[in-house]
Structures are given as structure tokens and as C-alpha cells.
Amino acid sequence: MIIGVAGPYSAETNEERKKNLNAMNDAAAEVLALGHIPLIGVNAALPVVERSDAADKYKAIMDISMAVIDKCDAILIIGESPGADRERDHVRSKGLPVYYSVSEIPPVSN
């Protein structure tokens, strides 16, 4: 499966944002170890938005993140936030799995 990984990103400081992004990437590495393909919308969005002239950078990040999540077969939520909640609700509305722990995700069998 292609599994989106979502959690809080926005924070008061760059250090907190980096910590949040690291947590998503750590979870994504665990998803990969199970044999699935992890995607993180914020990872796709940040390099583009940082180089853009977007007036509303949060909206641009969310637009890209939602497009990425729309292509996923499931989502892993590692923490709540307005953005992660939107991603979760979108996946849920499609009737796809929503996981709250890596341990809930079945490994790929060969």
C-alpha cells in the first residue's frame, strides 16, 4: 500500500517544526520497513512552497499535502492537528484505512 503519514507540522519555532517533521519521517521509515510505500505531504510541499511567491503559504502546503494524500491507499496519523485531521477525514471519506500506530499496519507478505 501507499500509506500517507500525517501529524502536526506547524509550530511556534523552527526547532519544533523540525521535531514534528522528524517524527513523521521516523514513522515513515517504520512504514517502509513493513514493506509499504510511505508518503508525507509536507515533505512534498515544503521545498516548493519555500521557493514560491504564494501569498498564503499554509494554504499552499495544505493544497499539496491534500493532493498527495488523495493518492494514498491508507493514512497513518501520528498526532492531531488541523491539517492532519483534514487529511484523515479525506482518507476516511473514501472508505480507506486510517491507522493510529505503526503496529496496526499489516506487513507486506511475500
Instruction: Give pLDDT tens digits for 28-54.
Output: 999 999 999 999 999 999 999 999 999
- Between CA 74 and CA 99 the distance in angstroms is 8
Residue 110 forms part of a structural domain: no
What is the average pLDDT across 57-83?
Answer: 95
- Between CA 57 and CA 70 the distance in angstroms is 20
pLDDT of residue 10: 85
Residues of the chain with pLDDT > 70: what percent?
99
- Between CA 40 and CA 51 the distance in angstroms is 19
Domain with 56, as residue range(s), is 4-80+97-104
pLDDT of residue 11: 85
Helix/strand/coil for 49? helix
Residue 89 forms part of a structural domain: no
Residue 65 forms part of a structural domain: yes
pLDDT of residue 109: 85
pLDDT of residue 63: 96
- Asked whether residue 21 carries a pLDDT value surpassing 80, the answer given is yes
Q: How many domains does the chain have?
A: 1
Residue 15 forms part of a structural domain: yes
Confidence (pTM): 0.92
